[in-house]
Amino acid sequence: MNRFFALVVGIAITGMPVHSPADESAKVVPKGGRLLGCAVTQAEQQDYNAAMAQAKSVGVQVVSLKLNWDEVEQRPGVFASPWPEIANAYYPGQHIQLSLRVATLDTDRNRLPPDLRGKPLNDPEVIARFDRLMDWLLAEMPDVTLAEVAIGNEVDGVLGNDPVKWAQYAEFFAATRQHIRQQRPTLKVGVSVMFAGLTQHARLAATLNASADEIMVSYYPLTPSFQVRAPAVVRDDFNAICRLYPNRTVSFVEAGYPSGGGCGSSAARQAEFVNELFAAWDEHPVQVRLVTLVWLHDTTPAATKTFGKYYGVGSPAFLDYLGTLGLCTFPGAGSEKPAFIALKQQAKARGW
């Protein structure tokens, strides 16, 4: 079940003032209608049921599944993937909602089927083919409660600063979102964009998000050299997104912070990030609907190296960042890091 998580490289860079660390005496806000998510990954013992039970023990309500378009549609019009059927068989019985991301663009990769990759993203054939893909996916998961669907994963990594590409994707998204609305009128559909893309390309991102049901943010507070920023920046970063979209709901589809020393972090700093995350969320309890923490467990060195090859980045800091994002360790059944203990405490304090 280890495909039930996704990797992102979200770089957050701001020049805004930094709040002081979260005040432990500050009044917490009850969870209300907020949703707590986690990218549930397995420890070495490969027991997904145990991992799910651990996540649910702290109140997790949503888990994530990312599917790459070109892996599902390997031949034109022919769809095949075991994961939607597995999700439909597993998650309803667990009373868990699913955050589904369908990767059209995936951070720095074009994941359209090979025969479509040379076409503009707003080409009618691209739109029609994606509509058929979504028809198939939704039909495969009739019993799953979808918390949200993201059409594209960190698309700004591919769109860059090209206004033409942003405009093409905005047209593609508006059309495909409308098609989904005809089948699931209440389903929240958006586009996953990195924090840096939302803030540094604010006008282009706002045009894309005009058709979205909610603003979807991928958030990892790192410098360009993959060193962690101070956990205290989290509240300013939450404020920045909420100011950009004052009348819109927001989903942090991924939020994470490594614990590795190679990227300037530690287990204590990772725990501090979790504390700051909940303090920031308490300042926007209505607007920020969902936060999904990444990941439950660390990854193996081999898996980390594979991810590094996929993204074409092999620096020690980058690999350390990827390898230590877990709230728990990997060996054996996985041990709780201070960050998981902080999650347990913060979630319980708010009624999860």
Mean pLDDT taken over the chain: 92
In this predicted model, what pLDDT tens digit does every residue of 139-195 receive, in sequence order? 999 999 999 999 999 999 999 999 999 999 999 999 999 999 999 999 999 999 999
What is the separation of C-alpha 319 from the centre of its chain, rounded to a whole number of angstroms?
A: 19
> Facing residues of 293 across strands?
38, 255
The pLDDT of residue 195: 98
Please give the residue that has the higher pLDDT: either 132 or 74: 132
Distance CA 168, CA 298 (A): 37
Residue 349 has pLDDT above 80, yes or no: yes
Q: Are 71 and 103 in contact (CB under 8 A)?
A: no
Predicted confidence at residue 6, as pLDDT, reads 35
For residues 88-93, give the mean pLDDT.
98
CATH class of 35-349: alpha beta
Distance of CA 258 to the CA centre of its chain: 15
Strand partners, 84: none
- Whether the predicted pLDDT of 69 surpasses 80: yes
What distance in Å separates the CA atoms of residue 151 and residue 145, rounded to the nearest whole number? 17
- pLDDT score for 1: 34
pLDDT score for 13: 32
Instruction: Look up the pTM and report it.
Output: 0.92
Q: Each residue of 10-68: pLDDT tens digit? A: 333 333 334 445 555 578 999 999 999 999 999 999 999 999 999 999 999 999 999 99
pLDDT at 9 over 50: no
Give the pLDDT confidence score for residue 309 in this predicted structure.
84
Mean pLDDT of 80-84: 97
Q: What mean pLDDT comes out for the span 277-296?
A: 98
Give yes or no for a contact between 327 and 293, defined as CB atoms under 8 angstroms apart. yes
User: Has residue 198 got a pLDDT over 80?
Assistant: yes
CB 278 within 8 A of CB 348: no
Strand partners, 101: 66, 150
What confidence score (pLDDT) does residue 25 get? 53
Q: How many CA atoms lie within 13 A of 101 on its CB side?
A: 32
Q: CA distances (Å), 282 to each of 33, 44, 289, in order?
A: 12, 34, 11
- Burial environment of residue 50 by CB neighbours within 10 A (0 to 12, 13 to 18, 19 or more): middle
Q: Classify residue 247 by its DSSP letter.
A: T
DSSP code per residue over 65-114: EEEEHHHH-SBTTB---SHHHHHHHHHHHHT-EEEEEEEEEETTEE-S-G
Q: How is residue 297 written in tokens?
A: 């467990």
The domain ranges of the chain are 35-349
61 and 39 Cβ atoms separated by less than 8 Å: no
Per the CB < 8 A criterion, the answer to whether 22 and 29 are in contact is no
Taking the C-alpha atoms of residue 95 and residue 92, their distance in angstroms, rounded to an integer, is 5
The confidence band for 314, taking pLDDT boundaries of 50, 70 and 90, is: confident
Supply the pLDDT for residue 23. 55
Q: What is the pLDDT of residues 203-212, one digit of tens each?
A: 999 999 999 9
pLDDT tens by residue, 255-283 = 999 999 999 999 999 999 999 999 999 99
AA identity, residue 152: G
